Amino acid sequence: MPAINWNNTLRDYQIYLKLEKGLAENSIESYLRDVFKLQNYCSQKKGIDSPIDVSQNDIEEFLGELYDLGISPRSQARILSGINSFFQFLVLENKIESLPTELISQPKIGLKLPEVLTIEEIDRIEAAVDLSKNEGHRNKAIIETLYSCGVRVSELIDLKYSNLYEDEGFIKVVGKGNKERFAPINKALMKEIEFYEDSMRNHLSIKPGNEDYIFLNRRGAKLTRVMIFTIVKNLAKAAGIQKKVSPHTFRHSFATHMLEGGADLRVIQELLGHESITTTEIYTHLDKDFLRSEILSFHPRNKKK
């Protein structure tokens, strides 16, 4: 029986994350980094050569060192979450009987609400697109896709024609961990994609292997994340938007406007591709802030005499 040391166990954990959990490579690397931090601390500071010997006290002391190093509570919470996942794996594999992280409280994190655009601001950004340029309709279609479908930038660049069901009004989106979901695609967006095809895409010399991707650059290859960020940043600046705008801002705006319009939180969770409802619940805070500002503005008791 192989020794239960850090190296063997982390190799097994990596295989578990890939095959059992179906996580993407960058997600796996993130989980492993969290455990590597604990491994280094336990090996160097505590002389612990096996993860099954790590106690609750060891982890609490490790978190204390992170605090002393000036690591933010948000980062501490993320690292603790990664460590907790590792020990859950050890329980599943019958390597340990209980979680040493079970009674450790999460570091308190101040709620940081994402920036949200108004519908008028989104219209201004779309209006800032120079449609006289070949890529104009493509850029407008990109903005509309980010907002009306609520997709992540990584999902946007991977959208494919083979996943587009125009008659049904949906497009299949491949999200984190290769999880699939369907996002509604409206007629206005389909019309904008057609304009993009006529003005640009149909005239490109498309590179082999890129034929199925919807959004392409002028060299006939699929767009990169950096290019999407650049397009969004330049259009927000041209529209005179003072807020810090990124591709993710449109996803936040999509969810917030859906909630304000009366959509069920579970529906929004499904549309965004959130694995946990708690991730989606941040938008209830946004909605409460909106309601509070409306009350302060319009309730007769709050009006100045």
Catalytic residues: 152, 176, 248, 251, 274, 283
Q: Measured between alpha carbons, how far is 143 from 149 in angstroms, rounded to an integer? A: 10
Residue 87 one-letter amino acid: F
The CA-atom distances, in angstroms, between 176 and each of 154, 158, 181, 182 are 9, 12, 11, 14
Q: Are 3 and 12 within 8 A, CB to CB?
A: no
Q: Are 303 and 284 within 8 A, CB to CB?
A: no
Q: Measured between alpha carbons, how far is 184 from 271 in angstroms, rounded to an integer? A: 8
**Cα-trace Rg, the chain:** 24
- What sections of the chain are H helices per DSSP? 6-15, 25-41, 56-68, 73-92, 119-127, 136-149, 153-156, 187-199, 225-238, 247-260, 265-272, 277-280, 282-298
Q: Measured between alpha carbons, how far is 137 from 145 in angstroms, rounded to an integer? A: 12
Measured from the Cβ of residue 284, the count of other Cβ atoms closer than 10 Å reads 12
Both tokens of residue 249?
């801002």
